Structure 1
Amino acid sequence: MIGRLLQFPRLLFLISILGIGQALFSQSASEITGQVIDVNSGEPVDFSSVAVLLKTDSSLITGVTTDLEGKFDLSISANEDYLLRISYLGYQTLYLTVTAAPEGVDLGEIELVEAAENLAEISVEAAALMFRSEIDKRTYDVENTIAADGGTAIQLLQTLPSIQVDEEGQINLRGSSNLLIYINGRPTNLTSDDTESILEQYPANAIKSVEVITNPAARFDAEGVGGIINIILNESELYGLNGQINVGAGTGNKLNTGLNLNYRSNGWNFSLGYNFQYRERWEYSESWRESFRGDVSPILDQEYDTENWDRTHLVRPAIEYQFNENTSLTFFSSINHRSRDRERLYQIRSLDASE
């Protein structure tokens, strides 16, 4: 009797071992393999996503990405039903039902189909090149650029390479002020001060392009000058009467207004442009001078307060007759009037060294 009781725990232990073995067998892993390829080309789809979902509730179990040959290999619990979700950008997502057998499942080649998308019509508009280089000149097409909005011709020139404009409005080409200003291929024959005034009046949006001519040809009659800046103005191609009004304002009491009218009919083109500019400028300077001569005040302190009011009017009439596509006769003029009022306050103090 006692011997049978001693054998009973051994029997329980053996039954437990068999139960654990059965549980481990039922939870054994199943290896799922396959290769993802393109249905049209047969090429492998590398780095595509393979996700394993539980079939009952679509919860994510595990997942891998395919290798360079489009192949994948993953292990999941055997004797279960799963969903394989295979996806890649530009392809339709594919779902496969898989029963994980203990001996494993080889899905072979899995074909993905490219996704067909209806794209909206795309309109591409090409803007003209801003810069063109030729043997004797460079042409900058500034029409419809940001620099042409709201500014003046002198401000537009400051944005172009090789051209510098100092604080006094003096224009330099590659460091030289010995240059000529042309408008529509014709010399202006103006002094530097008049050129500054006129270019300050021209609205930048009235300019189509700027030609920087560093090696003027003989037809320009520019011997001995450092170069030519040729400003090409916009010309209206509309028939009948048309016009444009420009108004601009800036800080420091600056105002620009302009009116452009154009009439074209039967080969004739009449145009009239008017621009007005008002600008206020303030200047302040101070100097301190100390002298060691006995016959003059040792210290001289000077202050200057200056205010300038500039008003400029520019009228540009033009008449053109177009004989044919390549020949035309044009009369063009620029009438400029500039006035300046100045008020300057001087404060001069002579001081002794003790003050």
Structure 2
Amino acid sequence: MKKTSNRLADGREIVYYDARDDAVRDAVDQRPLPSTSTASEIRYDPLLSEWTAVTAHRQARTYHPPADECPLCPSRDGRLSEIPEPDYDVAVFENRFPSFAGEPGPETAEGAHGLFRHGAGAGRCEVVCFTSDHHASFASLGEDQARLVLDAWTDRTAELFQHPGVEQVFCFENRGEEIGVTLQHPHGQIYAYPFVTPRTERMLRSAAAYAERHEGRNLFDDLVADELADGRRVVAETPTWVAFVPYAAHWPYEVHLYPKRRVPDLLALGEAERTEFPQIYLEVLRRFDRIFGPDEPPTPYIAAWHQAPLTADGRADFALHLELFTIRRTSGKLKFLAGSESGMNVFINDVPPETAAQRLREVAASE
């Protein structure tokens, strides 16, 4: 893999990841862009003990452009985009409308009781373009291209862990208009947060409590071992990875993908795990597109990498894993987060996890 870093016209960084060592990436961004301006702030919720980002500048972000004006396609035929090169393998650039950006600053507490805590929304947000082909999807990539994306995620994680104030790095993909995607080009994002996210905090607390109750045993290790032993919810497996529908799945079709050897983050994956990841992940993604039959549009989904925070207690006990889920519950119907889910964070799942796993195995056999 060859890595090349350049700058866009407004000063944002763009990084190219190429499979060929002789690739040259020296195109200059010709757009007359003004300097980027962000106003990200984080505010603390004392009732839930979690942070919220307030980002007024994101109201102006690009929204559903036509295909011939896609900002993630290469710059060709006089049409200038976010990618100055006429072609690319994988490209990563700083988001023009980031939720988190800049350096950390002092935290301030206001109000009579100091409850209104706020600070700079420091960190970094990046866009990851998986391929230059506007009409592709991650599922349509070859194994070599998917491996290149994995290597890019890994390199970005290492780089962003060095960014001042960053505590956690989150690589993810939103796919489909039903999810809220506004750009159809196959891409994902990376958020570098200035705090540990609430979901990860909760997992770390659960793992610590489990170890205390069970003489130091690891919650993630035992969970993966029990799913493998039970087998009813396992949908795919390689010597180094396992994909299963979790026992208490929140979503109609939800798959968790774990390396069988516990590692805290993408940086710790070995060569065998890196080689096998594209095989199992592409297979699971392709099954997702066959769940509801050949006449249904591509399945909308969120794919989310869970990595250990940089400095949190219990980092060594955390297990890297990817959570993949769709909000489509059956043909033509979506799973909405209504009163119970949005109001009380209690999920109601209409599809039993064992049924979902069986369906995901069936669509593998239908090829």
TM-score under structure 2 normalisation?
0.21
Between Structure 1 and Structure 2, the one with more strand by share is 1
TM-score under structure 1 normalisation?
0.21
User: Which structure has the larger Rg over C-alpha atoms?
Assistant: 1
Between Structure 1 and Structure 2, the one with more helix by share is 2
